[in-house]
Amino acid sequence: MTTRTARPVPPSVVRELLVTDDAGRPAVPHTDDEGGAPLRCCLRRSRPGERVALVSYAPLRRWAAGTGTDPGAYDEQGPVFLHAGECAGPQGTDLPFTHAHRVLRRYSADGRILGGRLVGAPEDFAPALTEAFADPATALVHVRAVEYGCFLYEVRRAGPDDTSQP
């Protein structure tokens, strides 16, 4: 079985988004008094008192730019939480945010949606991801929250350049 890893928003992209997000707006950092925001830079929930920013992010657009692909009408942007300062990145290899309903949205190498799947139970998440990559046309999968439709992270097909970040 192939190990799949969640890809956070890369540090270089986080730095860009904290200046101007993908909607052209400046980031507005704030102190998260309650904690619990799903941070896309380190793939964990924020802790009370951490500085975070909610910014607009276009993951497929950025992936497409890095691969020379045109996402066409599938290009979209949405809100993501990031640390507003230094971030240590992910601290483990487990797939995060699998405790609730999620949508796995599959994309082809030319940036087109191949399909999606609702995953309702945490124990169904890994098999659904394996199933998504059983289709050889699947280049990457976006994991999204059902409640808000927000992008949580990306998983790519394993390959020789699997460690690269756009």
User: Is pLDDT larger for residue 1 or for residue 125?
Assistant: 125
Q: Residues, the chain, total?
A: 166
Compute the mean pLDDT over every residue in the chain, rounded to the nearest whole number.
90
Using the predicted structure, report yes or no on whether residue 68 has a pLDDT greater than 80.
Answer: yes
Q: DSSP letter at 59?
A: H
Model confidence, pTM: 0.89
pLDDT at 2: 58
pLDDT at 164: 37
